[in-house]
Structure formats: C-alpha cells, structure tokens
Amino acid sequence: MTETILPTAWGEPLGSALLRSTPEDFVVIEHLDLPPPAAPGQREHLWLCVEKRGANTGWVARQLAEALGVRARHVGYAGRKDRHALTRQWFSVYLPGRADREPLPEWPEHAEFRIIDSRWANRKLRRGQHLGNRFLLTLRDWTPDQDQLSRRLADISNFGVPNYFGPQRFGHEFRPEPKPIVWSAEREARGFQISAMRSHLFNLQLAARVHSGDWRSVRTGEWLAWRGSAAGFLLQEPEARIDALFAAGELSPTAWLPGLVRDERLGPAATEREMLADWSVWIDQLCERRVECARRPTVLVPENLAAQPTPDGTGWQLAFDLPPGGFATTIVQALCETRLTDQPEEVQD
C-alpha cells in the first residue's frame, strides 16, 4: 500500500516504539452480549469462543466450517480481528437438528487457534453485534517523558482522537489513486476493495477537518452519531443538551462513507463533496456496485485508558476499550510513531 500521512490532533509523536514484535504484544478481546442458553428444539446455532494467534478471522471461519461439514456462509462472526495478534472472539455455526442427535466433534489441533468455550443458541452471530473490543498492547523500546505522556493520555481520554481507519483496512495491494479501480474476479476480494475505497475517502475528509481544527466541531445540519453506533440524528439547531452529550463523549460529528444516497440526511455536505471532487470516479464505481452511503463518527474516545511501564522498563503497556469499528492503531498513533515487525493485513472492527 502507498502510505498516506494523516495529520494528528495532539501534537508531535512522543518518540518511536516497536509494535507487534510478537502476537502477544497485540491482544484483542471481543466484548459480546451472549445469548441465553437455547431451549431444546431451538438449538440450531453452535457458538464457539475461539482464541487465535497469527491467524485471520476468515481463515478460522473456513476451518470451523470444514470441521463441522457446513458451507462457509453458515459460519457467522461479529467482526474481523487482526491477524498479527492474539485475539479472542466468538463464531456461530448453523447446525440445525444436530444438537440432540450427535456429540460435538473432536476439534483438530491447530497451532493458530483453539476452542475455549461453546454454547448452543437459537440465532446466528452477525456482523456488528459485538459491543466493542478490549485492547492490551505492548509498545517496546519506547521511553517517553512521563509528564508529556500523562498529559497526552489525559487529552485522549477526555477528548478522543480522530477516528481514522487504520492501515489494517487497506492491505498490501491497495493503491489510492484517483482513477478507476479494476475489480477483482473474486467476491471476497471485491468486498475488501470496496471497504478500502470508502475507508480512504473517509480518511481524506477527516484529515482535512483535523488540519483545519474542526474535527470535533458540531455543525448545524450535520448528522450526529451516538457513541459506538451507526444510529444518530440530524442536528437542527444548537441545544445545551446536545452540547452536554457531546462533551461527555456520547455524541460525535460524522463524515461521509460514499455510496448511493437513499436517505438525504446521510448524504454528503457540500464541503464533503468538494473535498472528494478529485475522486468522483471512485464514488461512481461504488454507486454502480449499489453500495449504500453511510456516516461514520469523526471522534473516537477510548474507555478505561491506562498505561504502565513494562517490567523491564524499556517500554509501555496500554489497555483500553473501543466501540465497534474503532482501530487501536489510531490511539497508538496519537502517542508515538511505530515500527512494525509484521505488516498488518486485515481489518479490525
């Protein structure tokens, strides 16, 4: 991928750190409301909690499908997790009639993943159903000034960071140039192309707002999003109640995720169209693919952000929670530059 330099909101990086020297340096734990145990006769979906190491979510889903003798489309999950990490997430497998007829299989031994919990449910696990993710990161070879670090962590905790899509969204082959995309012949690959295109166009808008200093500004006539949700409302006029919710991090301004505009409230503002004028060919291609537009928050506020030195004193350990769609790398980039031992290849959502 051609690297895009995105402006930061809280000043210069506090030094440089090594990230992902091992998968255990990047731990992701999915937060999910588990369904109640299904009653006999309703146990059609087997939910599996999987811990994976150095494996991508789609590959694990295919391994589960093969082990249980079903098609890959019968395996559900709430979101893709980083490949170069140690992650824990739930999958569901559609197995109608098998709960009372046959025992669970002996799971094959895999160096990349293991099953740590299971339960029967009456519904499939679908994309976006998780509540968010817990991150436990180790930044090695990093010794920032502790007073500066404390102030930066306080700014991030109180006001958030620009909600950029992280480099995991784009992969190695993505080339952000304002000319027509050549669509892949494979359906899954086309899905990644669409995701990368929209993510890049969103990042361009957000970068412009960060550069002008209004990435946190609430504008009359703008769609505001509730924290951790695609739901929101159109701000008709300023209100003290709205200001209080915004100050508490419960609401965020949004920028446009391009596509077909079926609801004018979710469409682009004139300034957003102007920002993306050079990329109209991409927007036309997205519309031809019947991709519907959406809005995404411009502000990402972590919860429970904490930091402590590593036991050997040569780095720092970070812990925080993010809503669905938030990238841990955006929090890290607000603190320091990173050197990666492995290039991330996969979306985190």
pLDDT tens by residue, 87-115? 999 999 999 988 777 677 777 778 899 99
Contact between 259 and 294 (Cβ < 8 Å): yes
Region of residue 45 (left: phi > 0; alpha: psi -120 to 50; beta: else): beta
CA atoms of 273 and 287, how far apart (whole Å):
15
Average pLDDT, whole number, for the chain?
Answer: 91
The answer to whether residue 349 scores a pLDDT higher than 70 is no
Domain ranges of the chain: 33-121, 159-300
Q: Which residues contact 226 (CB under 8 A, 6 or more apart)?
A: 232, 250, 251
When pLDDT is cut at 50, 70 and 90, the band that residue 229 belongs to is confident
pLDDT at residue 77, as a whole number: 96
The answer to whether residue 73 scores a pLDDT higher than 80 is yes
Percent of the chain with pLDDT over 70: 96
Tell me which residue of 263, 118, 260, 272 sits closest to 205, measured CA to CA: 272
The answer to whether residue 135 scores a pLDDT higher than 80 is yes
When pLDDT is cut at 50, 70 and 90, the band that residue 346 belongs to is very low
Mean pLDDT of the 208-225 span: 92
Q: Which residues are catalytic?
A: 82
Mean pLDDT of the 196-210 span: 97
The answer to whether residue 1 scores a pLDDT higher than 50 is no
pLDDT tens by residue, 2-56? 446 799 999 999 999 999 999 999 999 999 999 888 888 788 999 999 999 999 9
CA atoms of 181 and 333, how far apart (whole Å):
29
The radius of gyration of the chain's CA atoms, rounded to the nearest angstrom, is 21
pLDDT at residue 196, as a whole number: 95
Tokens of 151: 């102030």
Mean pLDDT of the 328-347 span: 77
- Altogether, the residues listed in the chain come to a count of 349
Coil vs helix vs strand at 26 = strand
pLDDT at residue 347, as a whole number: 45
pLDDT at residue 2, as a whole number: 42
Facing residues of 317 across strands? Answer: 138, 308
Q: pTM for the complete prediction?
A: 0.90
When pLDDT is cut at 50, 70 and 90, the band that residue 284 belongs to is very high
Mean pLDDT of the 219-248 span: 87
Mean pLDDT of the 178-188 span: 93
The answer to whether residue 343 scores a pLDDT higher than 90 is no
pLDDT at residue 17, as a whole number: 97
Facing residues of 320 across strands? Answer: 135
Contact between 255 and 177 (Cβ < 8 Å): no
Q: Which CATH superfamily is domain 33-121 in?
A: TruD, catalytic domain (3.30.2350.20)
The answer to whether residue 212 scores a pLDDT higher than 90 is yes
Least confident of 22-36, 131-145, 167-181, 298-312: 167-181
Contact between 167 and 19 (Cβ < 8 Å): no
Tokens of 250: 């419960």
HSE-CB at 124 with a 13 A cutoff on CA atoms is 12
Fold classification of 159-300 is Pseudouridine synthase (3.30.2340)
Other CB atoms closer than 10 Å to residue 102's CB: what's the count? 9
Mean pLDDT of the 185-190 span: 90
The answer to whether residue 141 scores a pLDDT higher than 90 is yes
Burial grade of 60 (CB within 10 A; 0-12, 13-18, 19 or more) = buried
Coil vs helix vs strand at 61 = helix
